[in-house]
A and B are shown apart, each in its own frame.
Chain A
Amino acid sequence: MSLVSETAELAAPLPGACAEPSMAGAGDYLALMKPRVMSLVVFTALAGLAVAPGHMHPVLAFFALTCIAVGAGAAGALNMWYDADIDAVMSRTADRPVPAGRVKPGEALAFGLVLAGFSIVFLGLMINLLAAGLLAFTIFFYAVVYTMWLKRWTPQNIVIGGAAGAFPPMIGWAAATGGIGLESILLFLVIFFWTPPHFWALSLYRTDDYFRANVPMLPVVAGSAETRRQILLYSLVLAPVGATPWLLGYAGLAYGAFAVLGGALMVALALQLYLASEKTAEPSAKRLFAVSIVYLFVLFAALLAERALGLQQFGIPFGRVFA
């Protein structure tokens, strides 16, 4: 057999190697990045960046936020790659690009890894290594600790995993200052304690989905009554924690007012949900879920507005406890 004919044989396509052309559009890749989650991440990171002491050049701030947004998108893509089997059996997620077959799992994985690499490397090169390290840890925590481990293993999945969603203000702060301040830790805690009431309220009226997907969410494992009790307990913790940036003098009166009123509303709705019968629990859970989104948005918007208008000096008389 001549060399030429051998080469020709080698060059022939293997059976099944010729992949079906991709039907994924740009919108599918955008969907992989979970744009709604990404917008919340950018918003809270912006708040962390804006309230940080000192001045950051707007171009650098925009660059840092872009890196954080892309990093969040990477975590979302890696989550969708790994969770495709779960997403396929849940009505809320069945039409996501991977379970719907528009994006192949390998494409989603490669997309997530490339975005993660770019966002971390360029945040580190252009801003600082601490912010890049925190972003890397956040992506790892969400994609590996939460998605691959906690989510399928324990009903405390969203409690511990909620830390991933709580890091962005800390990353924003680190990008602006190169350090980690107490205020950024307080903002972390606000989101951390906000996550359980928010997601458990959602899971209360999506219990069938989680049951079908074999995900041990609290309502599936411990039932509706225990979930509603836990929601109330976490809301009772959230209300004062939400007010701590004001109580410790890091935020102004507007933030304080929204935190106190919003916290009270969250507790009231959680109490209403706790006392609701099985039949009336679903509308109460939906109401709490919707209000929890508004609550977090208003708190961080108040921080940003106070910073923009210079109203932080109208803080609590306790003064700034830790300078």
Chain B
Amino acid sequence: MSLVMDQEHTEPGIVLTAAQKRQRRSRSIAIALALFVFVALIFAVTLVKGPGVLVRPL
């Protein structure tokens, strides 16, 4: 391990306020939901279209 990585971080860094944590949590939940809906939609469309899922008309 390098010397740099061994050094302890003494800087406090960014400390989120309660409001910022709340907003970050709401963003995280929204991203999770969006990903879930996206995967579910692609899965459903794949089931409907079957093996020729990427065969499409112009």
In angstroms, Cα B14 to Cα A100, docked, is 23
In the bound complex, what is the Cα–Cα distance between A26 and B27 (angstroms)? Answer: 5
Chain A residue at minimal CB-CB distance from B20: A21
A interface size (C-beta, 8 A):
28
**Does the CB pair B48–A57 fall under 8 Å?**
yes
For A18, the chain B residues whose CB sits under 8 A away are 14
Pick the contact of A63: B41, B56, B57 (CB < 8 A). Answer: B41
The CA-CA distance from A63 to B45 in the complex, in Å, is 8
Q: How far is the CB of B51 from chain A (nearest CB, A)?
A: 14
Let me know if A21 and B14 touch, CB within 8 A: yes
B residues within 8 A CB of A26? 26-27, 29-30
A11 to B: closest C-beta gap in Å: 7
Q: Given contacts A26-B27, A63-B41, is CB(A8)–CB(B4) below 8 Å?
A: yes
Interface majority SS (helix, strand, loop, mixed), chain B: helix
Residues from chain B with Cβ under 8 Å of A178 in the complex: 57-58
* Contact (Cβ within 8 A) B48 A59: yes
A27 CA to B41 CA in the complex, in Å?
A: 22
Contact, CB under 8 Å: B26 / A27: yes
By a CB distance below 8 angstroms, the chain A residues around B56 are 124-129
Cα–Cα, bound, A66→B34 (Å): 12
A25 CB contacts on chain B under 8 angstroms: 22-23, 26-27
**Chain B residues, Cβ within 8 Å of A124:** 56
**Distance between A77 CB and nearest chain B CB, rounded to angstroms:** 14
Q: Produce 1/0 per residue, A153-164, CB < 8 A to B.
A: 000000000000
Question: Contact partner of B4 among A4, A22, A128, A129, CB < 8 A?
Answer: A4
Is the CB of A221 closer than 8 A to any CB of chain B? no
Max chain B C-beta neighbours (<10 A), residue from A4, A18, A25, A66: A25
Q: Please determine whether A21 and B48 come into contact, CB atoms closer than 8 angstroms.
A: no
| Interface members, chain A 108-149 (any B CB < 8 Å) | 122, 124-130
Which residues from chain B contact A21 at a C-beta distance below 8 Å?
14, 16, 20, 24
Q: How far is the CA of A243 from the CA of B49 in the complex (A)?
A: 37
Known: A7-B4, A18-B14. A129 touches B58 (CB 8 A): yes
Known interface pairs A18-B14, A66-B41; 16 further A-B residue pairs with C-beta atoms within 8 A, sorted by A's residue number = A7-B4, A22-B27, A23-B19, A23-B20, A23-B23, A24-B23, A24-B27, A26-B27, A57-B48, A59-B45, A59-B48, A62-B41, A63-B44, A126-B49, A128-B57, A178-B57
Q: What are 20 A-B contacts defined by CB distance under 8 Å?
A: A4-B4, A8-B4, A21-B14, A22-B27, A25-B23, A26-B27, A26-B30, A27-B26, A59-B45, A60-B45, A60-B48, A60-B49, A63-B41, A63-B44, A122-B42, A126-B49, A126-B56, A128-B56, A128-B58, A178-B58
